[in-house]
């Protein structure tokens, strides 16, 4: 039955006075819509839900209150070395023997990483990402001395990065 232009209809035409206008819905576009929606949501979850991977031999401290870490610039402070994004910068002994607060090899490596991150943001041409600050995650061994961690944090601040997080393992609550 064809669909007519709305207007006055005689009630005598239809039993009970109700219109019999029916429309059909094709399932193909509906399924396409759900596939696109599911793909979009899955991509958003994978991008936003990524955790920082622990690839070095670092025993992390435990904490009871934690937030999920976002992908960021990672400074690794293990018993053997200091690394930025898995690239060795210096030995831990060099940091401990130094009297100054700014650790020069780490500062140079961080400056390079900042330049690379800003270039990447410019290439993406995403205005939201261009305004985001570069975040730093510190993976420090739980047996590390405080003075070494303080020097690392001071160097990170001197490089122009201010948003720092520590990687920890969530403490399991006993019932």
Q: Are 74 and 137 in contact (CB under 8 A)?
A: yes
Task: Pick 69 or 140 by higher pLDDT.
Answer: 140
Give the pLDDT score at 143.
Answer: 86
136: number of Cβ within 10 Å: 24
Q: What local confidence, expressed as pLDDT, does residue 119 receive? A: 79
For 18-45, write each residue's pLDDT tens digit: 555 666 777 888 888 888 888 888 877 6
Beta strands 87-91 and 135-140, pairing class? unpaired
Q: How many CB atoms lie within 10 A of CB 140?
A: 24
Identify which of 93, 73, 58, 20 has the alpha carbon closest to the alpha carbon of residue 169.
58
Buried-state track 149-172, b at ≥16 Cβ within 10 A, e below 16: bebbbebbeebebeebbbbbeeee
Interatomic CA distance for residues 128 and 29, integer angstroms: 32
Rg (CA), the chain: 29
User: In this predicted model, what pLDDT tens digit does every residue of 113-134 receive, in sequence order?
Assistant: 888 887 777 777 665 665 567 8
What is the dihedral angle through the alpha carbons of 165, 58, 106, 65, rounded to the nearest 10 degrees?
Answer: 10
Cβ(77)–Cβ(136) under 8 Å?
no
Give the tens place of pLDDT for each residue, 75-114: 888 888 888 888 888 888 888 888 888 989 999 999 998 8
Asked whether residue 50 carries a pLDDT value surpassing 50, the answer given is no
Q: 138-167 pLDDT, tens per residue?
A: 888 888 888 988 999 999 999 888 888 888
- Domain ranges in the chain are 62-170
Question: Is pTM beyond 0.85 here?
Answer: no
- DSSP string of 2-42? PPPPSS---TTSSGGG---------HHHHHHHHHHHHHHHH
């Amino acid at each position: 039955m064809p669909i007519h232009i709305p207007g006055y209809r005689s009630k005598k035409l239809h039993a009970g006075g109700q219109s019999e206008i029916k429309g059909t819905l094709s399932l193909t576009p509906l399924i396409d819509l759900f596939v696109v929606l599911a793909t979009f949501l899955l991509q958003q979850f994978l991008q936003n839900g990524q955790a920082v991977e622990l690839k070095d031999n670092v025993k992390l401290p435990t904490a009871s209150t934690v937030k999920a870490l976002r992908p960021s610039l990672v400074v690794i402070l293990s018993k053997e070395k200091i690394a930025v994004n898995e690239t060795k910068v210096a030995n831990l002994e060099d940091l401990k023997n130094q009297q100054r607060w700014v650790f020069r090899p780490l500062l140079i490596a961080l400056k390079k990483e900042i330049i690379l991150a800003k270039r990447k943001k410019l290439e993406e041409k995403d205005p939201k990402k261009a305004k985001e600050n570069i975040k730093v995650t510190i993976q420090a061994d739980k047996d590390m001395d405080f003075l070494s961690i303080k020097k690392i944090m001071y160097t990170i601040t001197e490089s122009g990065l201010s948003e720092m997080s520590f990687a920890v393992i969530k403490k399991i609550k006993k019932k």
